[in-house]
């Protein structure tokens, strides 16, 4: 029999914010990134998003850009240490709905895999903590044990599609019986690939793209978690309000 899989994004889907934000704070704490970088480059993007006049993805991409330069020249053990610290301190700050779905899939013997735009070192630690069978993340390249400042991304839709294609071959996955969970437009191909896609607290950009994709719109589930409540929304009601 073919394998049934469940693909999970991490940032905003499992973890309640963006894990790279926590890494960024640690890099400032250890004086790898200057504090003024936050105030001058990242905070403006965050504030635009916070008052809902900016794009959430722009905020994350700005941090990712700075992260590339910050880790250049660092030893991999330094980044691995920070990743372990972040997940140890913040790794339980997850959505109840997603945590319960992970448990549900495990009970049914499904293979659970995370595909995340966060740095691979961070994705690895989060995956180990929550019992994932495999993981894919953004690869920050090394020359020996030293980061070069180059990156192979995993935050965009095309990269996630390639990752799924590789995983299909590796585990003989039946996409027609499989599941996916995401929250931003970078997860679009991952959601579209499976029979049972769910977007969790989706961005407006993701919803707009779903509405343009008739086949995805017919099968998508939409979940919003706020405080201690979980809401399941109808795509047709959303369509009328976008």
Q: What is the DSSP letter of 40?
A: I
Instruction: Split the chain (242 residues) into runs of 10 and give each run's mean pLDDT.
Output: 96 89 85 78 76 75 80 92 94 96 98 95 96 96 94 92 96 98 95 97 91 93 94 80 65
CA distances, 177 to each of 6, 29, 43, 101, 189 (Å): 9, 45, 42, 15, 16
Q: What is the DSSP letter of 73?
A: T
- CA atoms 26, 29, 32, 34: torsion sign: positive
d(CA 158, CA 188): 9
The predicted pLDDT at position 25 comes to 84
The predicted pLDDT at position 54 comes to 74
The predicted pLDDT at position 141 comes to 95
Q: What is the DSSP letter of 75?
A: B
Q: What is the DSSP letter of 4?
A: P
CA angle at 168 for the pair 167 and 172, rounded to the nearest 5°: 120
What domains, with CATH codes, occur in the chain?
5-239 (3.40.50.1000)
């Amino acid at each position: 029999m073919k394998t049934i899989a469940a693909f999970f994004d991490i940032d905003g889907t499992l973890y309640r914010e963006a894990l790279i934000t926590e890494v960024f704070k640690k890099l400032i704490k250890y004086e790898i990134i200057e504090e003024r970088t936050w105030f001058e480059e990242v905070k403006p993007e965050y504030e635009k998003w916070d008052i809902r006049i900016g794009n959430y993805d722009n905020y994350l991409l700005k941090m990712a850009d700075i992260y590339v330069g910050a880790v250049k020249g660092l030893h991999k053990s330094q980044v691995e240490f920070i990743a372990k610290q972040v997940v140890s301190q913040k790794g339980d700050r997850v959505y109840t709905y997603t945590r319960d779905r992970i448990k549900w899939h495990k009970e049914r013997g499904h293979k659970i895999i995370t595909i995340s735009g966060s740095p691979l070192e961070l994705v690895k630690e989060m995956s180990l903590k929550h019992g994932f069978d495999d993981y894919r993340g953004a690869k920050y390249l090394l020359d020996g044990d030293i980061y070069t400042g180059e990156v192979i991304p995993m935050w965009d839709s095309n990269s996630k599609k390639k990752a799924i294609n590789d995983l299909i071959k590796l585990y003989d996955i039946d996409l027609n019986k499989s599941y996916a969970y995401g929250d931003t437009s970078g997860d679009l191909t991952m959601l579209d690939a499976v029979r049972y896609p769910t977007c969790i607290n989706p961005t407006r950009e993701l919803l707009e793209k779903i509405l343009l994709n008739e086949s995805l719109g017919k099968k998508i589930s939409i979940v919003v978690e706020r405080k201690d409540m979980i809401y399941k929304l109808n795509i047709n009601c959303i369509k009328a309000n976008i």
